[in-house]
Amino acid sequence: MSRKTTNGTDGVEIGLYSIGKVHDRGVTDVQTSAQSDPAREVVDICRRLIQFDTSNYGDDPRSQERDAAEYVAGLMSDVGLDPELVESAPGRTSVFARVDGEDSNESALLLHGHLDVVPANADDWTHPPFAAEVHEDNGVPMVWGRGAIDMKDMDAMILSVVRDRVRSRRRPRRPLVISFLADEEAGGLFGSHWLVEHRPDLFEGVGVAIGEVGGFSFTVDDHLRLYLIEAAEKGISWMQLTADGRAGHGSMVNHENAVTRLAEAVARIGSHEFPVTMTATVEHFLVEVRSALGLPDDTPAEAVVARLGPIAPMIGATLRHSAAPTMLEAGYKTNVIPGSATAVIDGRFLPGRRDEFLATIDGLLGPDITRSTLVDDIALEVPFEGPVVDAMVRSLLEHDPQARAVPYTLSGGTDAKAFATLGIPGYGFAPLRLPPALAFADLFHGVDERVPVDALEFGARVLDRFLDLA
Ligand SMILES: [Zn+2]
């Protein structure tokens, strides 16, 4: 239960002691406090983290983060931090630690990563998904494996940076709460949502949070790289539709067929074109990107997005609500008309527009269809301004003079939604300078997930600088 913070005063001995311990754990580089390098361990830690198979199968005993959590806690205690392991259920383990800042009057910065990953089917992969091998891709050395960008990359950056700072006695400007969470990929019921409900004390004093999915680059040309920082997230509305009708023999004419009613409603929803709708973050994004690409100010949103190549699908989904039918269930015999039929819809709504979204859905349902909620989670939007944003922009620019930071909306959801319920605003900032041709958006939950070695090192250095400034 302890939540003791370290004062970093026993740095040298602990630093030297840590060498042996860390070596045992597979991190091969040796560092002394005289040679500060926040990127030194990032690749080794990322690879070791990927080797823990933390596949999340939802509420299933195979879903386990404990081994990875114990490894992470070991990396922190080795340098003198006092991590706490928190379990919401057996094996569903998160890790927390606090780090003192230069300015103890400042609110704390929460750095959060998740330890779980989505499952991977090894047969589909070029290199085994949990081996974390390093191979070249178009001449660029990359770490291959599930979690390489979602998000053991950022976990490793946080650990490499924080270990280096503690050992070299370089305090961050403001206090840190660093956390590595269970169960993000299944909605955080055993992770972030459980923690904010049962252990709000872990977040005491936190004023702002940094996590996934942002800070990655999109190359415009040799002189300009956009770095997309997440400042908003769409909300989640997963719903079940139920059609009721009159059961009967399949040979009879039946105008109250539940399957027909459901199919019509699903078709109306699935083919509905939600209109392009501006939110503050999308507006800001479009202004920046039009300017960066030299497009006229009146270039329509979809035409701007179409210019974004590999990330166009990811950004396109943030221009409007969406509602995708994903599951259907009805019937048990060819010649029996069932009395009811159900469908599941994956709905995503824009910040501030949940009621409008649901009203549209209800208008599309038609008679004899009822809607029930499976999952409902908030949308987020924070201003892209202020000292924390300035710190992100500056730390990027110092490490990439061609950088231009732009805010964007994430079409999915992250643990930031849970922290927002405690009033903690959050940004997605896991900095990666990526090769122009890498189809980054496809790597999330995709086959052959991989991260460039030098992008990991870049990210650690940017994050380290950010902690000086934020
Ligand atoms: Zn993730």
Q: CA-to-CA distance for 65 and 89, rounded, in angstroms?
A: 11
Could you say which DSSP state residue 184 is in?
A: G
- Which residues are registered as beta bridge partners of 409? 232
> 190 C-alpha vs ligand 1 centroid, how far in Å?
15
Q: CA-to-CA distance for 291 and 298, rounded, in angstroms?
A: 11
Q: Which fold has domain 11-231+380-469?
A: Aminopeptidase (3.40.630)
> 402 C-alpha vs ligand 1 centroid, how far in Å?
27
Q: Could you tell me where in the chain the CATH 3.30.70.360 domains are found?
A: 235-377
pLDDT at 310: 82
> 455 C-alpha vs ligand 1 centroid, how far in Å?
17
> 238 C-alpha vs ligand 1 centroid, how far in Å?
19
pLDDT at 6: 35
> 170 C-alpha vs ligand 1 centroid, how far in Å?
29
Q: Which amino acid is at 419?
A: F
> 10 C-alpha vs ligand 1 centroid, how far in Å?
35
- Which residues are registered as beta bridge partners of 221? 224
What pLDDT, in 10s, does the model give residues 152-202?
Answer: 999 999 999 999 999 999 999 999 999 999 999 998 999 999 999 999 999
Least confident of 28-37, 113-122, 258-267, 419-428: 28-37
Query: Two tokens at 354?
Result: 């949940």
> 442 C-alpha vs ligand 1 centroid, how far in Å?
13
Neighbours of ion ligand 1 (CB under 5 A): 150-151, 212
> 31 C-alpha vs ligand 1 centroid, how far in Å?
30
pLDDT at 211 over 80: yes
> 281 C-alpha vs ligand 1 centroid, how far in Å?
21
> 329 C-alpha vs ligand 1 centroid, how far in Å?
30
Q: CA-to-CA distance for 92 and 181, rounded, in angstroms?
A: 9
Q: Which residue has the tokens 């189809």?
A: 439
What pLDDT, in 10s, does the model give residues 329-356?
Answer: 999 999 999 999 999 999 999 999 999 9
pLDDT at 319: 95
pLDDT at 16: 29
> 414 C-alpha vs ligand 1 centroid, how far in Å?
7
pLDDT at 466: 98
> 35 C-alpha vs ligand 1 centroid, how far in Å?
32
Percent helix, strand, coil in the chain, to 5, is: 35, 25, 40
> 211 C-alpha vs ligand 1 centroid, how far in Å?
9
Q: Could you tell me where in the chain the CATH 3.40.630.10 domains are found?
A: 11-231+380-469
> 49 C-alpha vs ligand 1 centroid, how far in Å?
14
pTM above 0.75, yes or no: yes
> 51 C-alpha vs ligand 1 centroid, how far in Å?
17
How sure is the predictor about 34, in pLDDT bands with cuts at 50, 70 and 90? low
pLDDT at 32 over 70: no
Q: CA-to-CA distance for 418 and 110, rounded, in angstroms?
A: 13
**209 contacts 427 by C-beta, under 8 angstroms:** yes
Q: How far is CA 286 from CA 212, 261, 303, in A?
A: 21, 40, 10
pLDDT at 2: 37
> 152 C-alpha vs ligand 1 centroid, how far in Å?
9
Strand, coil or helix: 64: coil
> Mind spelling out the 3-state secondary structure of 263-327?
HHHHHHHHCCCCCCCCCHHHHHHHHHHHHHHCCCCCCCHHHHHHCCHHHHHHHHCCCCCEEEEEE
pLDDT at 247 over 50: yes
Q: Which CATH number fits domain 235-377: 3.30.70.360, 1.10.287.70, 3.40.50.300, 3.30.300.30?
A: 3.30.70.360
Query: Mean pLDDT in the chain?
Result: 91
- In the sheet that holds 235-244, the strands lie side by side as 322-330, 340-349, 235-244, 369-377
> 212 C-alpha vs ligand 1 centroid, how far in Å?
6
> 154 C-alpha vs ligand 1 centroid, how far in Å?
10
> 117 C-alpha vs ligand 1 centroid, how far in Å?
7
How sure is the predictor about 236, in pLDDT bands with cuts at 50, 70 and 90? very high
**230 contacts 285 by C-beta, under 8 angstroms:** no
Q: CA-to-CA distance for 284 and 141, rounded, in angstroms?
A: 35
> 150 C-alpha vs ligand 1 centroid, how far in Å?
4
> Which residues 6+ apart lie within 8 Å of 450 measured at CB?
137, 142, 143, 144, 145, 148, 149, 443
Percent of the chain with pLDDT over 90: 87
**143 contacts 50 by C-beta, under 8 angstroms:** yes
